[in-house]
A and B are shown apart, each in its own frame.
Chain A
Amino acid sequence: MKAQITKLPLLILASVLLVSGITSCDKIRDFGDTNVNPGVTSEPITSALLTNVLAGISGYATSTRGGAYCQYFSETQYTDLSTYSLPQLEFSGNYSGALYDLQNIINYNSDPATADKAKAFGSNNNQIAVARILKAYIYWWITDQWGDIPYSEALKGVQPKYDRQQDIYTDLFKELKEAVAQFDGGDPFKGDILFNGDISRWKKFANSMRLLMALRIIKADAGKAQTEAVAAINDAGGLISSNSDNAVIDYPGGAFLNPWWSLYNGRVDWAMSDVVDGFFDATSDRRALAFGSSSIGFPYGRDRAEAVAFFNANPNWARILAPSYRTEGSPIVLLNYASILLARAEVRERGWITSGQTAAELYNAAIQASWEQWGVFSQTEYNNYIANASVAYGTNNLQKIGIQRWLAHYPDGSQGWAEWRRSGYPALSPAIDATNASGQIPRRYVYGTAEYSLNQSGVEEAVDRLAGGDTQDSRVWWDKQ
């Protein structure tokens, strides 16, 4: 009996514990905030999304691959890339990264449920307009490298189809035009580390981009090229009209480092090519002081043994940019005045516009602007330079404009490569030791393997439209023979 008495309270306790635990099923399923991550927030701050996009935007203007293809740069030892190993690359990170951040800004400012909240970081229209312009810049870059890409159905959380490059260009022209018109008098977008909230500069940036894009399609659709170029030039928002209007990312240094500085912070795989140097030697171009760390351009497109031999014999071969142009805090130029002047010169040369400054004036101004951009302008030497037979405007004008565009975009290899592809200027010979089957300079990037895994139907439809298949020798729509 004694034992019975001692076990009874325990038994009751146990049963109460168990039964109460099970019967109160509502409590058993309620974990409060156990699964709420304390380190994150469910509310986006659109200004911080914008800063995030802009902090990475210079990646598009500092592509060593594009620079290798347009022969700005040489590799110093492992020359695979500049002897044209397969450029099979993914673009999806651009979408899930910067592009969706921008789309998110647009969504958050458009959705009536959140638009009011979003106003804390700038007027809804101003935020959307900025996001549209930056989206256009990134899409422009992606389509120029690969050709047909996901566009109209992209960024919607579903597997998108691939749009034709022609349709993408058409829509980008529209987007830029509408975005410029969309800015209102409200608060500018906060977190704008590109133009610091200066809406007039956003408009100039958008119109300038539109002008360059228009010229890019000249072989594929001359009519559209002309319409868009003229419209861009005549837009009330204006174009980049001085070097102080340039789209420039000013690196603060510290946590955010200039990409060219970072390129040499560890390895020395890249050099200014002897091709660039060749132009300087022929013309006494003052930009030689800025484009490389020395006047020893590195031989372009050689095999490894030759590169190594040159490397050892010429220890002071030219690094990309003189050191003062690639400090931790050096700026990166996305679009510059010189290239816009050259585009205007081309428009004038082609007779699409027949008034205002002449093509020669614009051309000469462009060279001056470029020299000034690099801080190497000297009137005397400039006069000598533009008098040089291979520079002086008058004959082979489109070629000269093309060569100056190529120089003006340096070191933005993506622009340099695209301009070379569409214009053929300057005349570039493929790498001597090219390893690809065709031996030719690549004309596009090949779709990444992830696309074949994750969007096979989409990518295959796009590949079917490529005359030569998904190779680096196939040409994108605007790149006509």
Chain B
Amino acid sequence: MRKFVFLLFAALLCSVLVFAQTRTISGLITDANGKAIPFASVTVKDNPSVGTSADGDGKFTLRNVPAGAVLVITSMGYETREITVGTSDVLSVTLAASQGTEGIEVVVTTAFNIKRTQRNVSYASQNISSEQLNIIRQQNLNASLAGKVAGLQLRDQSYVKLGSNPTVRLRGEASFGGSTALYIVDGTPVNSLDINPDDIEDVTVLKGVTATALFGDRASGGAIVVNTKKGRKRPGLGIEINQGLRFDRVYILPEYQNSYAGGASGDLIRFDWQPGMPVEWQALDGKYYHDYTDDASWGPRMAGQEYIPWYAWYPGHKYSYQTALLTPQKDNIRDFYSTGVTTNNNINFTKVGDGYSTRLSYTYLNIKGLEPNSKQRKHTLNTSTSFDLGRLFKISANISYVTEDLWGQFADGYANQSTGSFNSWFHRNLDMNIIRELRGYRAPGNLIASWNHMNPGAYLGDPNSFYTGNYWFNFYDYFDNISNLNRRDRLFGDINLGFNLDNHFKINAIFRKNQVTAFNEGRSNSILDPKSGGAPINNINVTAFYATSESFAKEDNFELIPSYSNKFGDVTVNVNAGAAVRKELSKSVSVSTNGGLNVPDLYAINNSVNPISYSNGRSKREVRSVFGRGDIGYKNFVFGEFTLRNDWFSTLPPNNNSILYKSFGASFIFSDIIKNKPAFLSYGKLRASWGEVPSSLGIYQLGFNYTVGTDLWDGNFLMTTPGQIQDPNIKGAVNTLKEVGIELRLFKSKYKLDVTYYDEVRKDEPLALPITGTSGFTTKLLNVGKVIRKGIEVQVEARVFTLKDFQWTVNLNYGQNFENTVVEIAEGVDRIVVSSGAFSGSSSAYTAHFVGQRWGQMYGGAIKRNDDGIPVVDPNSGLFVKDPDLQQFGSVLPDFTGGVYNSFTYRNWVLNVNIDFQRGGKYFSLSDFWGTFSGLTRRTAALNDKGIPVRDPIGNGGGVHVVGVSSVDEKTPVDMYVDAQTYFHQFRGAFISENSIYDLTFVKLREVSLGYKIPVQKLGISKVVQNATFSIVSRNPWLIFAQNRDFDPSEISNVYGEDSQLPGTRSIGFNLTVGF
């Protein structure tokens, strides 16, 4: 390492000693749209040894230019230009696109913001342009990547859940814990949530470790590298306005049964008025009601008969003491959600002049959510500016400031009070419009009326416990009486000071920052916490509270990077070296009341009934690095490259905290040397690479530390022994990858094909391995395991029609993970449970890694089957026997993912259609599990094989038909009918989860936009308006295929599945872009 750096400096000194001449010319090279062209070559015509390359931003500085010289500017895909140097030292060059066969150079941004061309990199990289990314303006970057990157799986979230950040999985999983990609904006590591799609110029997705080797430990799950828009030359004022408006409605909901009403009792219950009950109830005497207390739907058949609805018992509103007809309410849950309204407004200014370029952009995103009182407001200010300071220095800065306020509770855990009950516990006969009408209605005793109150007999015990809900409030009243605000302010960006020593040598010093401050304020109003004699009067676990927290986190990166590039005859050389320091710091304080509020509705911490809860968090981390990288090219068709980086981590054991890792690659443009190249072959490249990327430990994972409890017991403090032990030899590790690929462009680059095969091994990952608690500890930190993954990625781009008035382009992305196997875990360990949901100790299913199996097996309780696969049934009860061993149901990882993106242009019209798909992968649905237990799902009200409803008495031909073998001998056939409720309850009783496990397979029309370019010339407004486009856009218009359409399989919230999935939505909207 040391030797290498010295050699580099020797080279540096040599180059400086070359004598300088008199003129230095600098400039910017752009295309016809004013967009910078990177890496154009600039040479003096008469003396090719005086030459340089423009940088990734299209800027160049060329020294030693003789007076009156002619500069030759060339770039692949553009017409070559010759410019005679005049009096100005600053040039602004526009290149026209050529009709060449290879197309323009695609730029790949790699670590430390070093830019390369796709032609000479040795690994797979995929570049997505802003147009393709923003077919419709998604609310965040990740959502807009779906279907556009080979090997990418988007694990999206429901649009109901505002502010959520969907996760991206590249090439399956290599880490036991699952890994996330590293997000880089203009070289700065940031959180993906706050990358504003309006400011993105393009995105490069780097999937394999050879591509990410220089990014360091956080890129082992791949890197998503974003270049923001920079100043560009635009005609007119350089102002652009983007306005979007979108409406979202609930789309995907489970199919419910619509035959039976709520309650635990299958019959209507006769009401007999008794003394002590309100006299008004006499009007209901002799009428019938269904059981309100139980929140399931095992109630009476809904046949339009007269009954007493839940609200009839409450005085003083227009439905008091009146019966209604018991009819299905098949859209009651859909009716709960309102229309979400999203507006997105962006205005940006850009200007480029001699020696500077600048862009300033402001975006305001405003979402009114689909849940009551939920909203999100986000402001993003982004600017990027660069100046030439004299001829030697250049300074540039990219700064983003984001501030977001998010209101609402977006609970998708089991049995939350907000909307989580809908698919687990609900009454199918509820008219949501009446629930909404009674929003704000107060029952006697100032109680919130509820559909789930007690049956009328309870009134005689305590009227309050009758009037209040048993388990649930009126959902609207719940939302009206909670408040949850999350505020986040983020600042990120960089300042980069560049120093050009000569035509070949420069040094950049860069400071990068990503800083976030946040606070949260939440409360539940006292009305949600009704008490009688100090004790709660219902089963609703809501305690009035006030809570607040504040946090601060920052990451600073300092980088010093000398670069050298030169051309020696046919050989080009680029070398970078450098040193970097990364410093992270975070602080947080959170505090909340406990046990209720002394003074009702006084939301102050000091108003806590019990001692308050509080915590503070502090953490630091530092990583120091030196690195070098270089590439060499011969005649622009053979390339070799390497990277070498050494990191020292504060989080690793001090005596062993250094990790050295490297990568090598080569690529070869074989189409350039084939003598009789077939006419159809425009371009052909082979590439191969090998690389490593390290994994380190988290902050404060080392050591054996005791935590002191917050509260004292009669003056005695409490302390707990930590649950984690560690291997004294714990160390960092590297994972290695081999990758080969081929790129072909055919028929004048009309068709492009890129195929990559990868083979990755991850070994000795430092992991807190779960161990049996009987050892005294719950986890052991050690280096474990081996995971391999192999797969293929294919990208196809076809310009199917390129007629004057009509163009049709198809992009296809496909990624298949042939193998993603857990080869070993640790000695004597054959599985690790990594993820489980609510009821994890009992009914739920788990995700676990098994040695020898594909990563992330879904496993859980199953029906016992005999050797022929026939279910084993208890012959007396007709209930299934549970297999004593939990069963595997398959991996949670899909077999393949992909997308097809079509773009049609006809004159001024552009139609973009993005379809993405996924095959395989499993999930467990707790909503389905409980919805079946509660009689909500369709199958609980199906007809049996005799055509009789399963809920009818067995004596009348009802019941669920059960066929199996007797548990006595596992041979004798059993064929009988089982009472529906008993049948559907058994899965919860015996913890059999197999009926609620589904495939993640889907095909989805995710994005559609139809745009019209307003002919500003024809309309005669071109003096004011440079361009204008109006589009109609839609998000998630059509879930074309899914194995189980009850849930959107692309929006499953957790690794194992979902606990209480919020519904999928679809939208229609408009977008207007105007340039002035």
Contacts and interface: CB of A to CB of B under 8 A. Distances in A.
Contacts of B600: none
Contacts of A1: 20
Contacts of B703: 36-37, 42
B882 interface: yes
Most chain B beta carbons < 10 A, residue from A45, A55, A265, A469: A265
A456 B829 CA distance: 9
Contacts of A4: 16, 20
Nearest to B831: A453
A191 to B, nearest CB: 5
A312 B707 contact: no
B620 interface: yes
B705 A42 contact: yes
Contacts of A6: 392
A452 interface: yes
Contacts of B1046: none
Contacts of B700: 35-37
A361 interface: no
B536 interface: yes
A387 interface: no
Contact of B648 (A19, A28, A100): A28
A311 B773 contact: no
A441 to B, nearest CB: 16
Contacts of A308: 263-265, 291, 293-294, 455
A35 B699 contact: yes
Contacts of B985: 435
A266 interface: yes
Contacts of B325: none
A372 interface: no
Interface residues of B, number: 125
B293 A18 contact: no
Most chain A beta carbons < 10 A, residue from B710, B772, B846: B772
A80 B578 CA distance: 65
Nearest to A142: B774
A193 B716 contact: yes
Interface string B854-892: 000000000000000000001001010110111000000
B46 interface: no
B16 A48 contact: no
Contacts of A269: 539
B461 A48 contact: no
A99 interface: yes
Interface stretch (A236-244, A271-279, A376-384, A443-451): A443-451
Please name the 6 residue pairs, one residue from A and one from B, whose CB atoms are nearest each other, closest first.
Answer: A315-B461, A92-B773, A255-B711, A48-B719, A40-B705, A312-B455
B658 interface: yes
A314 interface: yes
B543 interface: yes
Interface of B: 1-2, 5-6, 9, 12-13, 16, 20, 63, 263-266, 291, 293-294, 296, 298, 392, 454-462, 465-466, 499, 501, 507, 533, 535-536, 538-541, 543, 560, 562, 577-579, 594-595, 610-611, 616-622, 624, 626, 648, 650-651, 654, 657-658, 699-700, 702-714, 716-721, 723, 725, 770-778, 780, 828-833, 841-842, 846, 848, 874, 877, 879, 881-882, 884-886, 967, 982, 985-986, 988-991
B99 to A, nearest CB: 41
Interface in A176-209: 190-191, 193
A89 B841 contact: yes
B989 A10 contact: no
Contacts of B12: 11, 15
Interface stretch (A153-161, A216-224, A281-289, A415-423): A153-161
A254 interface: yes
Given A156-B776, A159-B771, A435-B985, 18 more contacts: A11-B507, A15-B12, A23-B2, A31-B622, A31-B648, A35-B650, A37-B619, A40-B705, A48-B719, A49-B721, A55-B718, A92-B774, A265-B535, A266-B543, A268-B539, A309-B291, A309-B455, A454-B772
Nearest to B1: A22
Interface in A121-171: 149-150, 154-160
A464 interface: no
Nearest to A435: B989
Most chain B beta carbons < 10 A, residue from A28, A30, A38: A28
Contacts of A35: 620-621, 650-651, 699-700, 702
Contact of A451 (B716, B772, B988): B772
A47 interface: yes
A457 B160 CA distance: 46
A254 B610 CA distance: 5
Nearest to B860: A449
B624 A28 contact: yes
A42 B704 contact: yes
A88 B771 contact: no
A85 interface: yes
B20 A3 contact: yes
A80 B991 CA distance: 12
Given A29-B648, A77-B293, A86 B718 contact: no
A38 B986 CA distance: 50
Interface in A20-55: 21-23, 28-31, 34-45, 47-49, 51-52, 55
Nearest to A262: B595
Contacts of A311: 293, 454, 458
B507 A267 contact: no
A352 interface: no
Nearest to A151: B774
A220 B951 CA distance: 48
A103 interface: yes
A419 B131 CA distance: 74
B265 A52 contact: no
A315 B454 contact: yes
Contacts of A453: 770, 831-833, 848
A451 to B, nearest CB: 7
A93 B710 CA distance: 21
Contacts of B778: 92, 96
B989 A3 contact: no
Nearest to B833: A453
Given A28-B648, A154-B776, A157-B775, A315 B877 contact: no
Given A18-B560, A266-B536, A435 B986 contact: yes
A11 B501 contact: yes
Contacts of A7: 16, 392, 499, 501
Contacts of B714: 193, 252
Contacts of A47: 716
Contact of B776 (A95, A469, A470): A95
B777 A77 contact: no
A315 B772 contact: no
Contact of A86 (B454, B777, B991): B991
A38 to B, nearest CB: 5
Contacts of B264: 77, 304-305, 308
B264 to A, nearest CB: 4
Contacts of B657: 29, 31
A336 to B, nearest CB: 22
A437 interface: yes
B771 A454 contact: yes
B828 to A, nearest CB: 7
A29 B654 contact: yes
Nearest to A18: B579
Interface in A76-130: 77, 80, 83, 85-86, 88-97, 99-101, 103-104
B775 A52 contact: no
A10 B6 CA distance: 17
B991 A88 contact: yes
Nearest to A23: B2
B477 to A, nearest CB: 19
A86 B842 contact: yes
B718 to A, nearest CB: 4
Nearest to A34: B650
11 contacts: A10-B499, A10-B507, A14-B560, A15-B9, A39-B618, A95-B776, A155-B774, A156-B776, A266-B541, A269-B539, A313-B457
